[in-house]
């Protein structure tokens, strides 16, 4: 009876997002980062130059959304971010996103 009660209680906790059919958002990770990223070249986005930082953030794909594509690479921001963005990201491995910042020229 205790197990039956627990099953009934946990059944109400399950939610399915009807917009994605219960699937979690997933973005592909490249086998290796693009040469232009490894060479430190900036991303041009929203009228600014964004330079790669030699660091990364660990995030689930569900925490970011794609804002553009640059030279064949998906560019993301955190879902909680608002403009003007402080950081933009590219994905280089599962749950690993390199971040970019603007530099004052």
Residue 60 has a CB neighbour count (10 Å cut-off) of: 11
pLDDT over 70, % of the chain: 78
Cα 73–Cα 78–Cα 40 angle in degrees, nearest 5: 40
| Cα separation, 30 vs 41, whole angstroms | 18
DSSP bridge partners of 78: 64
Whole-model pTM: value is 0.76
Q: Is 25 exposed, middle or buried (0-12, 13-18, 19+ CB in 10 A)?
A: middle
pLDDT in tens, 23-65: 777 999 999 999 999 999 999 999 999 999 999 999 999 999 9
Residue 19 has a CB neighbour count (10 Å cut-off) of: 7
């Amino acid at each position: 009876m205790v197990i039956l009660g627990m099953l009934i209680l946990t059944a109400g906790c399950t939610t399915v997002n009807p917009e994605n059919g219960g699937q979690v958002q997933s973005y592909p990770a490249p086998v290796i980062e693009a040469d232009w990223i490894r060479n430190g070249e900036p991303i041009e986005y929203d009228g600014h130059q964004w330079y790669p930082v030699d660091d990364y953030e660990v995030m689930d794909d569900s925490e970011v959304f794609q804002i553009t594509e640059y030279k064949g690479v998906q560019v993301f921001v955190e879902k909680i971010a608002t403009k003007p963005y402080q950081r933009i990201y590219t994905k280089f491995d599962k749950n690993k996103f390199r971040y970019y910042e603007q530099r004052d020229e």
